[in-house]
Amino acid sequence: MIHPNSPYKRIWDLFVFICITYFAIEVPVRLVFHYKLSAGVTWLERAIQIVFGLDVILNFNTAILKDRLLIHNRKIVTKTYLRSWFLIDFLSAFPFDLFGGFFFQYFGVTDSLKILRLLRSVRVFELFKSLRLLALGADSDDRFKLVEVINPMTFRLIFFVYWTSLFAHWVACGWIYLGPEFLADKDITTRYIRSLYWSVTTLTTIGYGDITPVTNKQTIYTMGVMILGVGIYGYVIGNIATLLSNLDVSRVHFQEKLNTIDSFIKYKKLPPQLANRIRSYYVNLWENKHGIDETEIWNQLPSGIKIDVSMFLHNHLISVVPFFKNAPEELKREVVLELKPAFYMKGDIIFREGDVPHNMYFLSKGHVEVIKENTSELLATLNSGSFFGEMSLIDDSLRTATIKAGSYCDVYTLGKDRFAEILKHHPKFAQHIQIIAEERKKNQTSKTTKTE
Ligand code: CMP
């Protein structure tokens, strides 16, 4: 039995989906314009027919997932399939023109039977659902646990566009079917484009009225399409509006936050310079982190997931900080879990010489300047991968220099107490930090500039 979520089945589903779409577009066009197919296309269609046939066989051999339970029992699988999609699948897969050829040709209905292939379009709904879950998570308990790859909202939007386009296409073909004399002197492409134009203007309730029904059949058809159009139009527009506003839900939240901040600035009568700094901080927060407050999300995560998430999130930091690269896994996990993210903009003072120390800092992105307050001398420029703020923590003194962001900086802070604990448990880490701190101290006294 095939697992319904196995990667191969998914790729197969995608393939079947493409075949269905091909038939859903091509069959109606051929039914109304009655053109001859080239040999290549005929073979392609035969191949698709075989794909559909194979799909029926595969479906009989695919286990089913019911209430998170995987059912392998052949009897149940067969019964479920026979009761659900089998008839539709069978009718659309059966090559009537080959097998029932003589019988059906006798009654002159072979062509109309091709419309049965359209039946499969109904399955597109189901396939769409499974295609949405294309990526597979490697979970040890459930080999084929699925992970959503596309934002569900975006997916629904794609789904709408797909269905409305297909529907407009069918309505256009129906229009020509009911009025074969429509622009009969023109070529197929012009006739199709004009009828698609009629279909779109009617379905979107715009109805210019430049193409109007002539026969009774067409008039009744037009009325039907108009009524359907109103419903579809309302439904689609309503849905798209909600979808679009939900798509950018974080931006909306962020905008609300900015408004509150503006009111705060006005209420507290903050000077323009300070107000601008606050605003640019938030603009940066949006540009660099999409307005997501990592700490807030962090606090909600269960500790088991936290470690793995933080290892993943700090991948970059671990790769840029030379010491971490060769550090033992336990140390990385321990440190990484305690890190708190923060960011600074160019020119921000991260802390000043003489301040009471609370944290040590790891620089993940950007560069900082180490400045001596009294002489305003630049002691060093530290680049991404460096750490700072360790000297005063080790010596239990005040900050020995001022640290200023030389560009936009992403930093991670490690609290004083945790820093001490980690030093205690990981002597190698302690030794490494102490060596660097010593070097820096020497540099401070000799006032030479060192870049890490
Ligand atoms: P701390 O004393 O806590 O605060 C200032 C920090 O600047 C200090 O820790 C070091 O991390 C860093 N620092 C001080 N002097 C130098 C130097 N010469 N080169 C690089 N970094 C330094």
Give helix then strand counts, H and E, for the chain: 21, 12
Q: pLDDT for 361-388, tens place per residue?
A: 999 889 999 999 888 889 999 998 899 9
Q: pLDDT for 118-175, tens place per residue?
A: 766 766 666 665 565 554 443 334 444 444 456 667 777 788 888 889 999 999 999 9
Mean pLDDT on 214-221: 92
**pLDDT of 109 above 90:** no
Residue 238 token pair: 């309503």
Range of weakest confidence among 136-150, 194-208, 293-307? 136-150
Kindly give the pairing relationship between strand 64-66 and strand 387-388. Answer: unpaired
Question: Ligand 1: which residue has its CA nearest to atom 5?
Answer: 401
Mean residue pLDDT of the chain comes to 82
Question: Ligand 1: which residue has its CA nearest to atom 9?
Answer: 389
Per-residue confidence (pLDDT) for residue 193, from 0 to 100: 95
314 lines ligand 1 (CB under 6 A): no
358 lines ligand 1 (CB under 6 A): no
Which helix (H) or strand (E) segment holds residue 364: the answer is strand 359-365
Cα separation values, 264 from 257, 258, 269, 344, 348, Å: 11, 10, 8, 21, 21
**pLDDT of 104 above 70:** no
Per-residue confidence (pLDDT) for residue 90, from 0 to 100: 82
Question: Ligand 1: which residue has its CA nearest to atom 22?
Answer: 440
Q: For residue 444, how far is its CA from the centre of ligand 1 (angstroms)?
A: 8
50-80: burial string, b at 16+ Cβ within 10 Å, e else: ebbbebbebbeebbbeeeeeebeeeeebeeb
Q: For residue 281, how far is its CA from the centre of ligand 1 (angstroms)?
A: 25
Rounded CA-CA distance 441/162 in Å is: 66
Mean pLDDT on 314-325: 80
Q: Say which CATH topology domain 302-451 has.
A: Jelly Rolls (2.60.120)
Q: pLDDT for 388-412, tens place per residue?
A: 999 999 999 999 999 999 998 989 9
Name the pTM for this structure.
Answer: 0.55
Rounded CA-CA distance 433/390 in Å is: 8
pLDDT tier, 192 (very low <50, low <70, confident <90, very high otherwise)? very high
437 lines ligand 1 (CB under 6 A): no
**pLDDT of 52 above 80:** yes
402 lines ligand 1 (CB under 6 A): no
Residue % of the chain over a pLDDT of 70: 84
Q: What DSSP character marks residue 181?
A: T
Cα separation values, 49 from 88, 97, 120, Å: 14, 11, 12
357 lines ligand 1 (CB under 6 A): yes
Question: Ligand 1: which residue has its CA nearest to atom 3?
Answer: 389
- Ligand 1 atom having least distance to the Cα of 450: 19
Mean pLDDT on 205-233: 90
450 lines ligand 1 (CB under 6 A): yes
Residue 184 token pair: 């009969």
Q: For residue 403, how far is its CA from the centre of ligand 1 (angstroms)?
A: 8
Per-residue confidence (pLDDT) for residue 108, from 0 to 100: 53
Provide the phi-psi class of 196: left if phi over 0, else alpha when psi is between -120 and 50, else beta.
Answer: alpha
Residue 23 token pair: 């038939």
Contact 27, 117 (CB under 8 A): yes
Residue % of the chain over a pLDDT of 90: 27
- Ligand 1 atom having least distance to the Cα of 397: 2
**pLDDT of 434 above 60:** yes
- Outline where 84-137 has alpha helix (H): 86-93, 96-99, 101-107, 110-113, 123-131
Contact 41, 81 (CB under 8 A): no
125-159: burial string, b at 16+ Cβ within 10 Å, e else: eebbebbbbbebeeeeeeebebeeeeeebebbbeb
Rounded CA-CA distance 86/403 in Å is: 71
- Ligand 1 atom having least distance to the Cα of 392: 3
**pLDDT of 452 above 50:** no
Cβ neighbours for 302, distance < 8 A, ≥ 6 positions apart? none
389 lines ligand 1 (CB under 6 A): yes
Superfamily, domain 249-292:
Helix hairpin bin (1.10.287.630)
390 lines ligand 1 (CB under 6 A): yes
pLDDT tier, 451 (very low <50, low <70, confident <90, very high otherwise)? very low
Per-residue confidence (pLDDT) for residue 281, from 0 to 100: 81
Query: What is residue 247's three-state secondary structure?
Result: helix
Contact 439, 373 (CB under 8 A): no
Q: Is residue 104 exposed (0-12), middle (13-18) or buried (19+ Cβ within 10 Å)?
A: middle
Q: How many other CB atoms are there within 10 angstroms of residue 424's CB atom?
A: 10
